[in-house]
Chain A
Amino acid sequence: MKKAENRKVFHEKRFFFLSGKGGVGKSTLSSSLALLFSQKGFKTLVVSLDPAHSLSIAFADSALPPNLSVHEIDIEKEMKNYLNKVKKDAEKIVSPVILEEIKKQIEIAYYSPGAFELAIADAIYKIYKNYSNQYDKIIFDTAPSGYTVRLMTVPDLLENWLKHMINLRRKALKLKAMAELKENDEEDPLISILEKRLKETQTLSHLFSGEETEFMVITNPGRLPIEIAKKTVKELESAGINVEYIILNKWKEKIPSPFPHKKTIFIKELPEEPIGVEKLKKIAEMIERSL
């Protein structure tokens, strides 16, 4: 009875984030979960955010069900596109005398600290905005643990920083207008840019901690992956993100779960590597059975 209820709750979720140490089977399980939902008739999208893309390898070019789409995001390319767009905008606004200098300043951003995390956050936001109406389920195959946790804690920090910047700019403009004895009623492009970013980060933080989102941490037997999974769960939960399910991948039934208080999904080790739709379907069955 309770199991059926759990299954129902799980099937009602819409956004799934799978996290874990590199090599524990994130891509395999993301693909299997996507297959499971597509078999149940949900229109499903599986997105890879991991720079080392392996979704296409997991599916091995086998024919996908018509209601399942795969999307691998090239973060580095996304970053370059974004910076090129800003450069194009600069050409319209900045005087040619200092344009080269500004272009250099824009290029530096590619290497600035935190750029990669922010670019991933941007990519998630874009997927959410463009596809959440088109698909019933979106599954995110995230980058290895450390990055993910850092990323998930970003929205709250960002929100505070952006709010501070908006206030500072508002105050400066207000004082300037007062000194010039004018009304301050012009639309400021900087404030609109910052407010657009603020709205994006607020959307993300709702997505990460929302009712429709399920965070799952994957681990293998072995001390290293287990310790890292424990750390990931702890860090995510202290960032206000609830991890409901732990996936014990390549597990032996004799070994007790290292997470006695969490719901667990057991995936036993298969005799051969699960590559291609047919073999992934077997894993999908195992997921369904352990829900």
Chain B
Amino acid sequence: MKRIKEFMKLFFKGAITDNATDKIDASAKIHNDMFLTSVFSDKISIPNPLYYYYVELLPYLAEEIKGWEVRITNRKTILGRAIEEGGEP
């Protein structure tokens, strides 16, 4: 029982906190969201003077709009995001 507990602990440590690519992946997603926010700022009531130029990008971003909208409007905790990005303290 004690061994299994130790095992589980190591497993989760490896899977959650030590997975370096996860952090990079999270950071990539955050940068991508920042990019999407700059393109679609209209949707969250920030006027976008470059929208006329950015429409050319829309066909390539079409698939990502829905996901971005959910992420940007449904942020439950800031802490969750911080942990995702920076790892547990």
Partners in one complex: yes
Chain B binder among A105-113, A131-139, A243-251: A105-113
Interface residues of B in 19-67 (CB under 8 A from A): 21-22, 24-25, 27-28, 31-32, 34-35, 38, 42, 47-53, 55-63, 65-66
With A93-B60, A94-B59, A190-B60 known as contacts, the answer to whether A109 contacts B52 (CB < 8 A) is yes
- Complex: how many Å from CA A37 to CA B42? 46
Q: How many residues of A contact B (CB 8 A)?
A: 43
With A169-B35, A176-B32 known as contacts, the answer to whether A114 contacts B49 (CB < 8 A) is yes
For B50, the chain A residues whose CB sits under 8 A away are 114, 118, 158, 161-162
- Complex: how many Å from CA A190 to CA B61? 9
A209 nearest CB across to chain B (Å): 21
Q: Mark A168-185, 1 if CB is under 8 A from B, else 0.
A: 110111011011110000
Query: Would you call the interface of chain A mostly helix, strand, loop, or mixed?
Result: helix
Contact call B57/A168, Cβ cutoff below 8 A:
no
A106 nearest CB across to chain B (Å): 5
Please give the residue numbers on chain B whose beta carbons come within 8 Å of chain A beta carbons, in ascending order. 21-22, 24-25, 27-28, 31-32, 34-35, 38, 42, 47-53, 55-63, 65-66
Could you list 29 examples of A-B contacts with CB < 8 Å? A90-B62, A98-B63, A101-B62, A105-B65, A108-B42, A108-B51, A112-B51, A113-B47, A113-B51, A114-B49, A114-B50, A118-B50, A118-B52, A158-B50, A161-B50, A162-B50, A165-B35, A168-B31, A169-B35, A172-B28, A175-B31, A176-B25, A179-B21, A179-B24, A180-B21, A181-B21, A189-B60, A190-B61, A194-B57
Q: Across chains A and B, which 10 residue pairs bring their CB atoms closest together, nearest first?
A: A175-B28, A179-B25, A172-B31, A114-B49, A90-B59, A112-B51, A115-B52, A176-B28, A179-B24, A93-B59
